[in-house]
Amino acid sequence: MLKKAMKTADLFIKNAILVTMDPERRILYHGAMAVADGKILEIGESAALEAQYDAAEVLDCAGKVIFPGFINTHNHLFQTLLKGLGDDMALKDWLATMTFPAARHLEPEDCYDAAMLGILEGIRSGMTTEVDYMYPHARPGLSDGILRAYRETGIRGIFGRGCMNTGERFGVVPEIMQDPKTVEKDLVRLFEAYHNTENGRIQIWTAPAALWSNTAQMLQMLYEVSNAYGAGLTVHVSETPFDRMATEALHGCAGVDCLEKLGITGPNVLMVHCVHLTDSDIDKAAQYDLKVSHNPVSNMYLASGVAPIPKMLKKGITVSLGVDGAASNNGQDMIELMKTTALLQKVTTLDPEAITAEKVLEMATIDGARALGMERQIGSLEAGKRADFVIFNPYRSPKSIPLHNPVSTLVYSATMQDIESVAVDGRFLLKDGAITVTDEQAALRRGQQAAERLCARGGIQNRMAGHPWRT
């Protein structure tokens, strides 16, 4: 009798708890996964698959949980250098006294160092996909600094090229404004140089800073360019009452009504924050299949309010999760974000089932992929999808033991310490607790030094001995 030929794989994981996030939401408690050429070849029971594969690397993940990689749909990586400087401020004051002054003095190397720092923290919390939203462009090359970090770290990155061309009366500094022609020229450059590079791992989107800081001409141009390249557009919408007031003052309407008026209503539109959407806004968002990035930690930090997420979910709106910039979060932690997402809605609605642990995980994985139009490539562990995954080891900290339900443990009990390994396209960016793609300590030191230099150039006094004690 002829022996059946073995299948080959680059990586074979066995004896794991596989939380697949597939359409049936299967959890395989003795699961195996075969990976080759950056893709998942097969998912199944270890006993059935182990004898079928000859792999270059075999990992026995007994007692460990494999999740799809976590997807962060909103961030401002340059703000990583401003972590801890915006404490206890309202959004408008936060922008005027800290963020905009720093943005005036950004250099390309600052953006690179900030991006490296933020991405590494994200990887350590299980992040495999990052949407960066870069809105200030005081000088050329800032975008390229962040994209360089995307390339070097191996993270799956969407870079949103942002802009502002109005809003001086609301505190926007002229030095970071650009006219539509300048923005369009640089957008085309970025799309031609970077879009769908690194085997599709890096994409370019458009990202107007806010509806109130961009004219109709700018906003419509951005959407036209996005559509021309088959890309997305992401924009802050109804983050605060000020946001709605300022948008109304400029455009004569606010929220989704404004997007509708401008013709920015396709399924490739990702709205960020959406804290103060009206019931009419929510109905129209569902009608147009607009997507939402929910950023609860930054919304709490800046006292912006609580987004009506349960209402959105009931209308069938795709809601994903974003950590937001470190200047309004003080972290880039997807684990913290998931717990906050669930608990905030429970206490706000007085309903313990307002958002379940399972729904939070969907928001961080398959719904995040859907928000980016990438649900056929990432967001779940299924044959044919990219091999973006997280190895979660509950034995790395006492907080996650005992493990009874892997999803509950992840959302309510886990810490970053429990993330043992992270892979994108089957390549480990974090393995056995160690960053593999760069010298992490050197990156941390560069980040600290860059932050100090930026604060000095921007005249930001709210650090070290200049930080006031407030009670």
Average pLDDT, the chain: 95
* Domain ranges, ordered by start, for the chain: 7-68+380-435, 70-371
- Is residue 438 within 8 A of residue 153, CB to CB? The reply is yes
List, for residues 332-365, the tens digit of each pLDDT value. 999 999 999 999 999 999 999 999 999 999 999 9
Tell me the range of 84-88, 249-253, 463-467 where mean pLDDT is highest.
249-253
The angle at the Cα of 370, spanning 367 to 371, to the nearest 5 degrees, equals 90
pLDDT at residue 190, rounded to an integer: 98
Per-residue pLDDT at 2 exceeds 60: no
Matching fold, domains 7-68+380-435 and 70-371: no
Given this model, what pLDDT does residue 461 score?
Answer: 77
In this structure, what DSSP letter does residue 212 have? G
For residue 41, the model assigns a pLDDT of 98
CA angle (446, 144, 158) in 5-degree steps: 100
Distance CA 454, CA 434 (A): 29
Mean pLDDT of 85-111: 82
Q: Give kind and range of the element (H or E) at residue 38.
A: none
| Residue 86 confidence (pLDDT) above 70 | yes
Q: Higher model confidence: residue 460 or residue 429?
A: 429
pLDDT above 80: residue 397: yes
Asked if the model's pLDDT at residue 92 lies above 80, the reply is no
pLDDT at 19 over 90: yes
Could you tell me the pLDDT band of residue 3, with boundaries at 50, 70 and 90? low
Instruction: Please work out, in degrees rounded to the nearest 5, the angle formed at the alpha carbon of residue 378 by the alpha carbons of 60 and 364.
Output: 90
Query: Whole-model pTM?
Result: 0.97
Taking residues 98-119, report their average pLDDT.
Answer: 91
138 falls in which pLDDT band (50, 70, 90)? confident
Residues in the chain: 471
Listed in sequence order, the DSSP H helices in 252-390 are 255-262, 279-288, 296-301, 309-314, 334-349, 357-364, 366-371
| Contact indicator for 108, 141 with CB cutoff of 8 Å | yes
Residue 146: phi, psi to the nearest 5?
-70, -40
Q: What pLDDT digit, counting tens, does each position of 448-470 carry?
A: 999 999 988 888 877 787 777 87
pLDDT higher for 291 or 329? 291
pLDDT single digits (tens) 33-79: 999 999 999 999 999 999 999 999 999 999 999 999 999 999 999 99
Q: What is the pLDDT of residue 403?
A: 97
The superfamily (CATH) of domain 7-68+380-435 is: Urease, subunit C, domain 1 (2.30.40.10)
Q: Tokens representing 245?
A: 């007031």
137, two tokens: 């462009």
Mean per-residue pLDDT, 176-197: 97
CATH of domain 70-371: 3.20.20.140
